[in-house]
Structure 1
Amino acid sequence: MKTLIILIPFLLAFWLSSVIIPVIYVVSFRKRLFDPINHRKVHGNIIPRLGGVSFAPIQCCLMTLAVVIFHKYNFLNDLHLNTGEILPMFLMLTTGLVMLFVVGLADDLIGVNYKFKFFAQLIAASLLPLSGLWINDMYGVFFITSLPMWFGMPFTIFVTMLIINSINLIDGIDGLCSGIIMFSSFILGVLFVIEQAWLHAIFAFITTGILLPFFYFNVFGASKKKRRIFMGDTGSLTLGYAVAFLAISFSMNNADIKPFSEGAIVSAFSTLMIPVLDVARVMWVRKLNGRPIFQPDRGHIHHKFLDLGLSHRRTMIAIILIAVFFSLFNIISVQYISNNIVLALDLVLWILFQVSFDIIEKRVKKNKLIAVEETTN
Structure 2
Amino acid sequence: MTQWIYIDLMILACVVMITGFIIPQILLIAFRKNLFDTPDPRKIHTSQVPRLGGIAFFPAILFALLLLFGIGVLYDDQSILVRLHNHILPLCFIGCAAIILYLTGMADDLVGVEYRAKFVMQTFAAAMIIIGGLRIENFHGFLGIYALPLSVSVILTALLTIFIINAINLIDGIDGLASGLSAVACGFYAIIFLKSGMFMYSALAVATLGTLLPFFSFNVFGNAQKHKKIFMGDTGALIIGLFLSVMSIESCSIDWLEHNTNPAVLAFAPLLIPCFDVVRVYLHRIKAHRNPFLPDKTHIHHKLLALGLTQRKAMMTIIASSIFIIWVNYVMSSCMDITLLFFCDITLWIVINIILTRSVHSRENRLNCKLYD
1:243-258 equivalence runs, <5 A? 243-252=244-253
User: 2:150, 2:65 → 1: CA distance?
Assistant: 28
Which residue pairs with 1:335 in the alignment?
A: 334
**Matching of residue 308 in structure 1 with residue 307 in structure 2:** yes
Per the alignment, in what secondary structure is the counterpart of residue 273 of structure 1? helix
Residues in 2 aligned to 1:264 and 1:73: alpha-carbon distance in whole angstroms: 35
In structure 1, the residue matched to 2:121 is: 120
SS of the residue corresponding to residue 226 of structure 2 reads: coil
Using a 3 Å threshold, how does the CA distance of structure 1 residues 327 and 269 change in structure 2: closer, same or farther?
same
CA distance in 1, matches of 2:221, 2:124: 36
Aligned to 2:361: 362
How many angstroms apart in 1 are the aligned matches of 2:341 and 2:76? 41
**Which position in structure 2 is the counterpart of 1:350?**
349
Alignment of 1:188-199 (within 5 A): 188-199=189-200
Q: How many equivalent residue pairs?
A: 371
Change (3 A) 1:260 1:327: closer
* Alignment partner of 1:63 out of 62, 65, 68: 65
Partner of 1:78: 79
The structural deviation recorded for 1:296 is 1.5
Report the secondary structure of 1:330's partner residue: helix
Q: Tell me how large the CA RMSD over aligned residues is.
A: 2.0
- Give distance in 1, aligned partners of 2:231 and 2:225: 16
Q: In the TM superposition, what is the alpha-carbon distance from 1:251 to its structure 2 partner?
A: 1.1
Contact 1:133 1:252 in 2 (8 A): no
Q: Which residue does 2:9 correspond to in 1?
A: 7
8 Å contact kept, 2:20–2:214? yes
Deviates more, 1:92-101 or 1:157-166: 92-101
C-alpha displacement of 1:199: 1.1
Report the Cα offset of residue 344 of structure 1: 2.1
Helix, strand or coil for the counterpart of 2:128?
helix
Counterpart contact for 2:262–2:334, Cα < 8 Å: yes
Q: Is the 8 A contact 1:134 1:252 kept in 2?
A: no
CA distance in structure 1 between the partners assigned to 2:155 and 2:76 by the alignment = 35
Corresponding residue number in structure 2 for 1:186: 187
Partner of 1:39: 41
Unaligned runs of 5+ in 2: none
One-letter identity of the residue aligned with 2:26: I
1:84 Cα offset (Å): 4.3
Question: Contact between 1:139 and 1:262, CA under 8 Å: does it hold in 2?
Answer: no
Contact 2:196–2:254 (CA<8 Å) still a contact in 1?
A: no
Cα distance, 1:263–1:326 mapped onto 2, change above 3 Å: same
Q: Distance between the aligned counterparts of 2:192 and 2:219, measured in 1?
A: 27
Query: In 1, Cα distance between the equivalents of 2:208 and 2:151?
Result: 31
Give the conservation status (yes or no) of the 8 Å contact 1:13–1:209. yes
Residue aligning to 2:178 = 177
User: Per-residue CA shift, 1:4-47, capped at 9, x if unaligned?
Assistant: 11110010011111111111111110111100221111011111
User: Is the 8 Å Cα contact of residues 127 and 158 (structure 2) preserved in structure 1?
Assistant: yes
Of 215-224 and 365-374, deviating more is 215-224
Q: CA separation in 1, counterparts of 2:84 and 2:276? A: 35
Check if 1:321 corresponds to 2:320: yes
Deviation at 1:338, TM superposition (A): 2.3
Match of 1:30 in 2: 32
From 20, 23, 47, the equivalent of 2:22 is 20
Superposed, which structure 2 residues align to 1:195-344 within 5 Å? 195-222=196-223, 225-252=226-253, 263-344=262-343
Alpha-carbon contact 2:49-2:224 (below 8 Å) kept: no
> For the structure 1 residues 81 and 370, does the alpha-carbon distance in structure 2 shift closer, same or farther, using more than 3 Å as the test?
farther
- Aligned partners of 1:351 and 1:190: how far apart in 2? 30
The Cα shift of 1:341 comes to 2.4
User: Does structure 2 retain, via aligned residues, the 8 Å contact 1:108–1:233?
Assistant: yes
The answer (yes or no) to whether the contact 2:260–2:334 under 8 Å persists in 1 is no
CA offsets, 1:64-114, max 9 Å, x none?
333333345443x43795544422111111111111111100111111122
Q: TM-score, normalised by structure 1?
A: 0.93
Report the secondary structure of 1:272's partner residue: helix
Equivalent-residue separation in structure 2 for 1:285 and 1:365 (angstroms): 20
Shift of the alpha carbon at 1:324? 1.2
Is this contact kept in 2: 1:136–1:253, CA < 8 A? no
Distance in structure 2 (CA, Å) of the matches to 1:296 and 1:158: 21
- Alpha-carbon displacement from aligned partner over 1:168-211 (angstroms, at most 9, x marks no partner): 11111110111111111011101111112111111111111111
Separation in 2, partners of 1:175, 1:268: 23
Instruction: Report SS of the residue matched to 1:271.
Output: helix
**TM-score normalized by structure 2?**
0.94
| Structure 2: distance between partners of 1:83 and 1:22 | 33
Equivalent residue runs for 1:88-107 within 5 Å: 88-107=89-108
What stretches of structure 1 of length at least 5 have no aligned partner?
A: none
Cα gap change, 1:226/1:25 in structure 2, threshold over 3 Å: closer, same or farther?
closer
1:186-241 Cα shifts (integer Å, max 9, x gaps): 11101111112111111111111111111001000118934111111111111100
CA distance in 1, matches of 2:262, 2:39: 44
Matched to 2:300, the amino acid is I
Q: 1:46 to 1:223 in 2, by over 3 A?
A: closer
The 3 A distance-change label for structure 1 pair 19 and 80 is: closer
Question: What is the distance in 2 between the residues matched to 1:88 and 1:26?
Answer: 38
Moved more, 284-293 or 230-239: 284-293
